[in-house]
Amino acid sequence: MTKKIKLSELGSLLGGDIEALEGVKIEGDVEIDLGQMGMNPQMAYALGHETAQMALHLMNISRILGYPIDQVLGGQQVAAPKKLSKLIESKFSVGKIEEWKTPIQEVVLGATSSDGGSRKSTITLGGEKSLPYYFDSPMPHRNHITMDVFDMPINMAKAVKSNYEDVINSPAEWAKKVVRDFGADMVTIHLISTDPNIKDTSPAQAAKTVEEVLQAVDVPIVIGGSGNPEKDPAVLEKAAEAAEGERCILASASLNLDYARIAEAAKKYNHVVLSWTQLEINAQKELNRKLMKQCGVARENILMDPTTAALGYGLDYAYTNMERIRLAGLSGDTELNFPMSSGTTNAWGAREAWMTASPLKEDSDWGPREYRGPIWEIITGLTLSLAGNDLFMMMHPTAVQVLKEITQTLYGLKETEPLNIDNWITAVV
């Protein structure tokens, strides 16, 4: 049986004033406040450090008394602060992630004349073997941006609209403008006028618009329906036929419409299917599986849109959903390892992006909305780019420029003069 004594009595046992032991404070009976210590006591002892010797004695006694000193100390760290005269040499190293064994599927968008299309060049998405911009494995293809074009004038935030007023009635001119002036990698033609609740434009008429856009620009294109689940299959079928061989993205197949018809159109006319689900990883798996197994869409013809919610309006779900999908894909889930697309334009739905001022008097001043809108679109896209998104559907020219700049910087395309930041504290800014 061990004899029980109070730790406060240890002072006399040690024959010194333990309260004065720097870094070791004894309070009450058993509480040891370790303060800020970390030196290996054995080593300190060997070095003949006096306070460390005392600490070690103290520790041994405590151990004999049955006090769980090792657990408390996380093994055996105890020592008084010690002044070092030079830095401890060290090498930092960290491993790569072993679980990332499955690459993301590569998907080619657009087709040149040698492949039966009329695009000047193609774009490849996917192929990643790690999270974006990670050192584990370089990203094989940079991010790309497709800019929105609508087949009729629509309501837009003022900051967006001012860029398109001259082309708002002509999808072809609008498409030319985004490629020529704003550096769009691709163009998305949204056939929203086909919605029976809007203009109920016929599929044939919509297909004509698609032809016009294909003639106006030589980049790959995305063909978007109106979002009406009854009408979209017919519209996309007709549009796919008009764009035969161009490897357009058909947007979208979803679980709440007849996705098989869209899959069929993609197969028949050589296009890529955008598999769209709403912030639900299991639904995304299910739809991808159906497209592959039930509809026979080849893996290289599938792209996913797991839904983009704006910053402040569900971006947390969109971000985590995409990151989970990408991690699952890299770790071997072959129903999820497809490139991803984001409707980044959704950021403009956030009131912070377009409202003149906060509706709440309690808020600090929101400042001019002209500056809020583009940054809202940028940060929404940038966040998703870090989760693994490959293709961005965007709207505001400034947002496009900035997102391009940052994603291509992280990708490694941007060279700049090396900068010295060592004196940032004294910078006059």
Partner 1 sequence: MKVNSPLQVYKFLPQTNCAECGEATCMAFASHLIDRSKKVEDCPPILKEGFKKKYLELVTLLAPEIREITIGTGERAKRIGGDDILYRHQLTFFDPTALAYDVWDTMPENELVERVNKIQNFRKFYVGKFLNVDMIAIRCVSGDALKFAATVRKVSEITKLPLVLCSFDPAVLKAGLEVVKDKNPLIYAANEKNWSEVSELALNYKVPVVLFSSDLDKLKSLALTFGEMGIKDIVLDPGTYPQGKQLKETFERFIKLRRSGIKEGQKDIAYPIMAVPLNAWLVYKDTVTASYWETVLASIFTVRYGDIMILHSLEPYAMLPEVHIRDTIYTDPRTPVKVAPGVNEVGSPTKDSPVIVTTNFALTYYTVESDLSSNKINCYLAAVDTDGIGVEAAVAGGQLTAAKIKDTFQKANFEFKDKTSHSTVILPGLAARLQGDVEDVTGLRVMIGPPDSGRIPGWMEKNWPPKPK
Helix or strand run (H / E) with residue 394: strand 391-394
Q: What count of other Cβ atoms lies within 10 Å of the Cβ of residue 165? A: 10
DSSP state for residue 201 in the 8-state scheme: -
Q: Which is nearer to partner 1, 133 or 176 (CB)?
A: 133
CA distance 20 to 98: 50
| Residue bearing tokens 């040891």 | 32
Q: Residue 247 Cβ, how far from partner 1 at the closest point, in Å?
A: 27
Which residue is associated with the tokens 């009131």?
Answer: 351
Q: Does residue 371 interact with partner 1 by CB under 8 A?
A: yes
Q: In what order do the strands lie in the sheet with 302-305?
A: 302-305, 272-276, 249-253, 221-224, 186-190, 144-150, 391-394, 341-342
Beta bridge partners of 394: 147
Q: Which of residues 94-113 bind partner 1 (CB under 8 A)?
A: 94-95, 97
Name the residue type at position 272.
V
Residues between 40 and 69 that touch partner 1 (CB under 8 A):
68
Closer residue to partner 1 (CB): 3 or 361: 361
Toward partner 1, which CB reaches closer, 60 or 320? 320
Q: Which two tokens stand for residue 125?
A: 């998405």
Selected range binding partner 1 among 110-118, 166-174, 175-183, 420-428, rule: CB under 8 A:
420-428
Nearer to partner 1, 98 or 114 (CB): 98
- In the shown chain, the binding pattern of residues 199 to 228 toward partner 1, with x for contact by CB under 8 A and - for none, equals ----------------------------x-
* Closest separation in Å from C-beta 333 to partner 1: 14
User: Does the footprint of partner 1 cover residue 2 (CB under 8 A)?
Assistant: no
Q: What is the CA 385 to chain-centroid distance, rounded? A: 4
CB of 80 to partner 1, least distance (A): 7
Which one of residues 5, 42, 63, 74 is an interface residue with partner 1 (CB under 8 A)? 74
DSSP 280: -
Restricted to residues 333-352, the positions that interact with partner 1 (CB under 8 A) are: 349, 351-352
Give the residue, chosen from 3, 88, 114, 282, that forms a contact with partner 1 under the rule CB under 8 A: 88
Compute φ and ψ for 231, nearest 5 degrees. Answer: -90, -35
- The verdict on 412 binding partner 1 (CB under 8 A) reads yes
For position 311 contacting partner 1 by CB under 8 A, the verdict is yes
Residues 278-313 as b/e (b if ≥16 CB within 10 A, e otherwise) read bbebebbbebbebbbeebebeeebbbbbbbbbbbeb
What 152-157 contacts at long range (C-beta under 8 Å, 24+ apart), as own/partner pairs, is 152/192, 152/193, 152/198, 152/199, 154/192, 156/348, 156/395, 157/348, 157/353, 157/354, 157/369, 157/373
User: How big is the site for partner 1, counted in residues (CB under 8 A)?
Assistant: 96
Please state, in angstroms and rounded to a whole number, the distance separating the CA atoms of residues 424 and 421. 5
Count of beta carbons in the 10 Å neighbourhood of residue 94:
5
Q: How far is the CB of 339 from partner 1 (least distance, A)?
A: 20
When the beta carbons of 110 and 374 are compared against partner 1, the nearer one is 374
Smallest distance, Å, CB 273 to partner 1?
18
Q: Is 30 in the site for partner 1 (CB under 8 A)?
A: yes
| Of the candidates 308, 298, 304, 301, the residue with the CA atom closest to the CA atom of residue 395 | 308
Exposed / middle / buried, residue 214 (Cβ in 10 Å: 0-12, 13-18, 19+): buried
Q: Tokens for 101?
A: 């064994």
Q: Does 9 bind partner 1 (CB under 8 A)?
A: no
Site for partner 1 in 180-199 (CB under 8 A): 197
Smallest distance, partner 1 to C-beta of residue 119, A = 30
| Residue numbers 283-302 binding partner 1 by CB under 8 A | none
134 binds partner 1 (CB under 8 A): yes
Contacts to partner 1 from residues 377-396, by CB under 8 A: 378-379, 382-383, 386
Considering the complex, state which of residue 9 and residue 362 has its C-beta at the smaller distance from partner 1: 362
Which positions from 136 through 165 interact with partner 1, judged by CB under 8 A? Answer: none
Using CB under 8 A, which of 27, 38, 60, 63 touches partner 1? 38
Can you tell me which residue has the tokens 């998405």?
Answer: 125
- CB of 301 or CB of 346, closer to partner 1: 346
Q: Find the binder of partner 1 among 1, 83, 114, 282 (CB under 8 A).
A: 83
Query: Of 53-61, 71-79, 211-219, 289-297, which part binds partner 1 (CB under 8 A)?
Result: 71-79
